[in-house]
């Protein structure tokens, strides 16, 4: 029932624009002002991959103001500017539903790492973590004048942190109402939905029924739910079930974000997780997936710690480590985690991405750091190194514990969209996960072109119309007359990601033009000074 209602709601949302686009067909929109060429911008001679997954067709694309004004085999009317797209592919700008862009967007409002791989819209607030209140945050982003468009989720963890702190206990009914009010306000301020990070403190202390109470608020206001699941390793099946239950009982679309299977012993389980999600859809649960195309994840090194040891924040963690008995218990759990979970059996599989208290650790793995500490780099000593890092204030880590086969299986699922889970790095600083620089280019280059696993059109669909539909964006994600002119132009033979784990600060290549709201923000290797990004408010504020 709920699925049917959601599907209808989606159709209603899209219907006016689609019918308008169909009515206009190949016709041009009237010129926006006198004494001007009919079009502001004309992309000539490219192959149009329209974002729907349909086969490409050769056409010219004309833009007036911020809108696609015409798409036709040959547009002869003059344009203020003509760009030759011969040999290139023209697609909708890519939409990234999962980023941590507040790390860097205020320093680098052009978000070069995203722009230079064709991304025109980024979403913040995933993993249960968003700035609060949403209004102040979005106002600050708007004032920063970004190049890409920008939207956000409201975080369940952030709401719980504000009301309860990072304590491991149930919420009282009054506290749940306070958290519901935070979600309500976030949605009113323009969030697109509720995010959860049930893997992290304090999401990890939240029972499912409490999440559902918050999901009902977001769902009632037209929002969706995305989840960094409680467990992506041995407990991944139970966590998928929980994510589906939140959607089913919360009455809203639900998405498994950055879907992956962690830990050698669990590899292959994507067969079962995808079946669970597909079966849920068959019974009317509107569940979807997003993913980044790498076999390493990235998060805090303290992800190796058992949940109980993280309660109360850093000072409490340090206090526990000073007690020999508790330290031993923590170490046993970290050893276990390196063996069977995020370490995939070896300390060398975990490296430091960035470290505030000792920047020199960035780029080194736990085995190397252990050796520098004068110890044999086995799992036990690697655990001591990890504990020492957390004790000193923690660090961001990269964890190589995902199987390529699971990655490919999840990628090929039609329900899966592409999202980076990245940030806006300061160029050259620290050693971030390459996903920030390469996610979208990598799918196009490695998985569509080089491995031939999916058609270019299908890869583009996963970056454009699929996230646009999931986010309820009625006027982006498809190249059609009347839609907003977010456009990416690239060479399908040359497009590639260059960022690696060893040398992450390398921009993607092969992109010729990136256009946001009708304005060129990137052209043949050069960022333009334009910063036309807009805040894309969610359903309750639109």
Point out which residues bind Zn ion (CB under 5 A). Answer: 127, 228
CA 137 to CA 131: how far, in whole Å? 6
Smallest distance, Å, CB 421 to Zn ion? 6
Asked if residue 502 lies in contact with residue 494, where contact means CB atoms within 8 angstroms, the answer is no
Residue 337 beta carbon to Zn ion: minimum distance, rounded to whole angstroms: 17
Total count of residues recorded for the chain = 542
Hey, what are 470's tokens? 């999931």
The CA distance from 154 to 538, in Å, is: 11
Classify the C-alpha dihedral 507-420-134-165 as positive or negative.
negative
**CA atoms 432, 356, 166, 194: torsion sign:** negative
Please state the closest distance from residue 500 (CB atom) to Zn ion, in A: 22
Cβ proximity to Zn ion: between 127 and 161 the closer is 127
Residue number with the smallest Cβ distance to Zn ion: 228
Cα 63 to Cα 86, 344, 526, distances in angstroms: 17, 50, 21
**Minimum CB distance to Zn ion, residue 314 (Å):** 20
Q: Which is nearer to Zn ion, 228 or 259 (CB)?
A: 228
Q: From residue 462, how far is each of 247, 368, 465 by CA, in Å?
A: 21, 38, 7
Minimum CB separation of residue 9 from Zn ion in Å reads 27
Q: What is the rounded CA–CA span in Å between residue 74 and residue 61? A: 9
- Among 102, 300, 330, smallest CA distance to 201 is for 300
- Please, what is the minimum distance in Å from the beta carbon of residue 258 to Zn ion? 5
Of the pair 203, 532, the CB lying nearest Zn ion is at 203
Cis peptide before 59, with omega less than 30 degrees from 0?
A: no
Q: Which is nearer to Zn ion, 21 or 192 (CB)?
A: 192
- CA distance linking residue 175 with residue 179, whole number of Å: 6
Q: Between 6 and 195, whose beta carbon lies closer to Zn ion?
A: 195
Q: In this complex, which beta carbon is closest to Zn ion, that of residue 228 or of residue 320?
A: 228
What are the φ/ψ torsions at residue 436 (nearest 5 degrees)? -65, -35
- Shortest Cβ distance from residue 297 to Zn ion (Å)? 8
CB of 199 to Zn ion, least distance (A): 7
127/311 with CB nearer Zn ion: 127
Q: Which is nearer to Zn ion, 228 or 505 (CB)?
A: 228
Instruction: Give the C-alpha separation, 420 to 437, whole Å.
Output: 9
Closest CA to 475 of 43, 51, 40: 51
Residue 98 beta carbon to Zn ion: minimum distance, rounded to whole angstroms: 7
What single DSSP character describes residue 444? I
Both structure tokens of 35: 């004494």
Provide the minimum distance between the beta carbon of 535 and Zn ion in the complex, in angstroms, as a whole number: 23
Closest separation in Å from C-beta 47 to Zn ion:
35
> Which two three-digit tokens encode residue 323?
């007690």
CB of 128 to Zn ion, least distance (A): 9
C-alpha 453, offset from chain centre: 22
Separation of alpha carbons 95 and 73, rounded Å: 26
Task: Specify whether the backbone of 356 is left (phi greater than 0), alpha (psi in -120 to 50) or beta.
Answer: alpha
- Give the C-alpha distances (Å, rounded to integers) separating 167 from 161, 201, 231, 250: 8, 8, 19, 24
* Smallest gap from residue 228 Cβ to Zn ion (A): 4
Measured from the Cβ of residue 98, the count of other Cβ atoms closer than 10 Å reads: 28
* Cβ closest to Zn ion, residue 126 vs residue 492: 126
169 phi and psi, to 5 degrees?
A: -155, 165
The residue (of 225 and 228) whose beta carbon lies closer to Zn ion is: 228
Cβ of residue 290: shortest distance to Zn ion, in angstroms?
A: 10
Residue 228 or 342 with smaller CB distance to Zn ion: 228
Is 336 within 8 Å of 360 (Cβ atoms)? no
Pairing of strands 89-92, 350-354: unpaired
Residue 236 phi, psi dihedral angles, 5° rounding: -65, -35
Instruction: Give Cβ neighbours of residue 356 (< 8 Å, ≥ 6 apart).
Output: 393, 394, 395
Nearer to Zn ion, 228 or 470 (CB): 228
Query: What SS3 class is residue 316?
Result: helix
Using a 10 angstrom Cβ sphere, with 0-12 exposed, 13-18 middle and 19 or more buried, the burial of residue 271 is exposed
Q: Which is nearer to Zn ion, 127 or 406 (CB)?
A: 127
Closest to Zn ion by CB, 228 vs 498, is: 228
């Amino acid at each position: 029932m709920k699925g049917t209602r959601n599907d209808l709601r989606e159709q209603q949302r899209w219907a006016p624009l689609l019918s308008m686009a169909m009515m206009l067909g190949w016709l041009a929109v009237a010129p926006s002002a006198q004494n001007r060429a009919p079009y502001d911008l004309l992309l000539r001679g490219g192959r149009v991959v329209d974002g729907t997954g349909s086969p490409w067709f050769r056409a010219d694309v004309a833009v007036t103001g911020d809108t696609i004004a015409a798409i036709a085999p040959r547009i002869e009317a003059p344009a203020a500017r003509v760009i030759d797209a011969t040999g290139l592919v023209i697609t909708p700008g890519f939409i990234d539903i999962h980023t941590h862009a507040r790390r860097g967007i205020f320093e680098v409002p052009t978000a070069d790492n995203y722009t230079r791989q064709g991304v025109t819209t980024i979403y913040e607030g995933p993993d249960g973590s968003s700035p609060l209140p949403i209004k102040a945050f979005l106002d600050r982003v708007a004032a920063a004048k970004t190049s890409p468009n920008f939207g956000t989720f409201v975080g369940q963890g952030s709401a719980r942190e504000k009301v309860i702190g990072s304590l491991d206990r149930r919420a009282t009914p009054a506290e749940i109402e306070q958290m519901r009010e935070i979600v309500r306000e976030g949605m009113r301020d323009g969030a697109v939905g509720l995010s959860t990070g049930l893997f992290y403190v304090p999401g990890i202390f939240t029972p499912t029924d409490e999440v559902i109470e918050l999901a009902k608020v977001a769902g009632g206001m037209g929002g969706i739910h995305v989840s960094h699941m409680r467990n992506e390793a041995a407990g991944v099946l139970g966590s998928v079930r929980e994510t589906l239950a939140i959607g089913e009982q919360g009455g809203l679309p639900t998405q498994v974000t950055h879907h992956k299977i962690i830990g050698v012993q669990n590899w292959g389980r994507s067969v079962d997780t995808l079946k669970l999600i597909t079966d849920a859809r068959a019974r009317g649960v509107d569940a979807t997936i997003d993913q980044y195309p790498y076999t390493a994840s990235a998060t805090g090194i303290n992800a190796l710690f058992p949940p109980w040891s993280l309660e109360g924040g850093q000072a409490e963690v340090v206090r526990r480590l000073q007690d020999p008995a508790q330290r031993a218990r923590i170490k046993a759990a970290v050893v276990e985690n390196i063996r069977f979970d995020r370490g995939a059996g070896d300390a060398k599989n975990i490296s430091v991405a960035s470290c505030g208290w000792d920047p020199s650790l960035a780029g080194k793995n736990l085995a190397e750091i252990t050796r520098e500490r004068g110890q044999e780099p086995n799992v036990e000593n690697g655990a001591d190194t990890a504990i020492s890092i957390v004790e000193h204030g923690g660090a961001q880590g990269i964890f190589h514990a995902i199987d390529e086969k699971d990655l490919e299986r999840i990628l090929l699922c039609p329900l899966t969209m592409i999202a980076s889970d990245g940030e806006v790095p300061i160029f050259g600083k620290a050693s971030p996960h390459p996903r920030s620089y390469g996610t979208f280019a990598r799918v196009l280059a490695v998985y569509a072109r080089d491995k031939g696993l999916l058609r270019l059109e299908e890869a583009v669909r996963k970056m454009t119309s699929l996230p646009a539909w999931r986010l309820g964006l009625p006027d982006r994600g498809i190249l059609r007359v009347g839609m907003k002119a977010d456009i990416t132009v690239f060479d399908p033979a040359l497009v590639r990601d260059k960022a690696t784990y060893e040398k992450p600060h390398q921009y993607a290549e092969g992109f010729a033009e990136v256009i946001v709201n009708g304005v060129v923000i990137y052209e043949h290797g050069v960022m333009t000074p334009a910063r036309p990004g807009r805040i894309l408010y969610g359903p309750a504020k639109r």
